[in-house]
Structure 1
Amino acid sequence: MPARPLSPRRRRDTVAVLLFDKGALFESSIPITVFGAQRTELRTPAYRVLVCAGEEGALTTSAGIGLSTPYGLEGLDRAGTIVVPTWRSVAETPPEPALQALRRAHREGARIVSLCTGAFVLAAAGLLDNRPATTHWMYAQALAKRYPSVRVDARALYVDDGDILTAGGSAAGIDLCLHIIRLDHGSEAANQVARRLVVPPHRTGGQAPYIDHPLPKSPDGDPLAEVMAWALEHLDEGIDIDTLARRAYMSRRTFDRRFRALTGSAPLQWLLTQRVLHAQRLLETTDLPVDQIARQCGFSSSVSLRPHFRRLLGTSPAAYRESFHVRGIPRQRNNGSARAVG
């Protein structure tokens, strides 16, 4: 989205960090550290950082550490960029004065940024309506449910929509802050700050490799639950929807309808996802060759596995293993059977 002209009372080099009671300390410190640390030995332009309280009364972190902020909401009126790094509860509506201040800042051309659960504050202010946005993958579903007009992308490290920018979980906030420095002052400045912080100046991929995919809960004795458990133990076999329907003692149409109602997915799509997730676990916990892992998960070869793995997790099997493999685990013997990943 094109940015509005910045109000004369706002400065482009001023960053306001909006904090609330019981916010997470790590996320709160990210914009203060990235934008506010003194780096006289570096050739990076300086920002002026204003740490602002988003509500009345004493502020503490979620761990009970007391915070003292030099500014209140009036500090937001001078900032060209406002960062909301965290919010205490995905089920609680932020205080209206803070929401009004954010709306006013947006109207006056300020760049509005959220990190992690700070997206819930931007959404409550209406700033994410009909826009793409992200948050920590654990809270993406809650954000989409509470604010259905937001186009939530749980896989993105961050989303830059021009005058509104949102970051995923925790460390993705560092990625977004470096991205903002890159926008303002170029890659060299962002790279210098990244080296100072001992972090990559730019990470590829997204949150997808970190997302957990639990099985939906189903009552004991439910035929669908039993069929799903059986399928997880036989992922290396040629399973089709007719096989699953017969094991559930249902017609294909009834099975398909009930399965979609339970999981939100078509049976074969769910099966494909479970095969990829099983491959993910084997890449983490074994030294088996990728071709052998692919066959244990029901794929003909690593070539067949690779596009599905990349689509679901945003990276290749080899790159995933390089990042997440637990070193020192004995090589697993191939016993020809699959292992449940639920």
Structure 2
Amino acid sequence: MNEQRKKPRFPFPRYPRGWFQIAYSDEVESGSVHPLHYFGRDFVLFRTESGELSLLDAFCPHLGAHLGYGGHVEGESIRCPFHAWEFGGDGRCTKVPYARRIPNKSSIKTHHVREINGLIMMWFDIDGAEPSFEIPEIPETNLEEWTPFAKRRWKIRTHNQEMAENVVDIAHFRYVHGMKIVPQPHLIEPNYPVLKMETKTIMETPAGDVEGILSVEAHGFGFSTSRFTGLVRTTVIASVTPIDDEYVDVRFSFTVHKGQGDSIARGIGKAFTAEIARQLEEDKPIWEHKTYFEKPMLCDGDGPVGAFRRWCRNFYPEWYIEQAAREYREAHGTIA
């Protein structure tokens, strides 16, 4: 059983390049320290007393203590819980309280972070390259006319790419989610790092069916926005961050326009949040137990799966794609 679990589930790389949510801004107060585990690695996130945010590798280069467990902020640095070494937001050691000089190369690797749309995002690239794109500002997150985020979170055994493919897999909406009319998406030509799609939707309500438009815009595999019109204007930010080789951390953030009044917007938003969460819960067991076919048996009623998969290759270096395919062949004997 353990050997089976070690086999790669997918013939493509585990960790795509891009921006990924690691927290909400309101979760990280000044002076706070947060241990994190993503991409199969340990990190420490902290906010200095002046409000600056930093993300470092978790372990002190001295004797390996995890800065996220017992470490605390001192001014603009984080102090190690073991021997009180201090490190600035740039990763450099700023103080060793019992030594006359700071050892050379006593620094910790730093990682790019951005605070935008009420989210804290980190950049990940398997080659350690600098960010090649940025996350756009979503106006709804900063306007009084929109409700504060309603938040939902899941831990799911799947891959970012599998979750993202769900959007273009139009046929499943009827048979998994019970939609009477399957949406027919218009996929706007993908252009790294952005993929855009629009489709007409029909939402069932007690007063009858309401037509609307769904517009999806993805910036890599870690961040996407879905805007719904019809009954009420609603925006959903979906963030999917790899935890390790098996699981992803999924956060959905919902906001609703207050055009019909604050209380009505909140009520509709609550119902909409519950409906989207219901759909994800229906998808979850399928994602967690399905296999992946490199050459699926598609038919003319399926969505633009091929175009989507070609776009996906932009987020992995070629050597990483080849390595993942080789490891999959060695484990399973073939590419499905």
Specify if TM > 0.5. Answer: no
Q: Which has the higher contact order (CA 8 A, sep 6+)?
A: 2
Q: Whose radius of gyration is greater, 1 or 2?
A: 1
More helix by share: 1
More strand by share: 2
TM-score scaled to structure 1, two decimals? 0.27
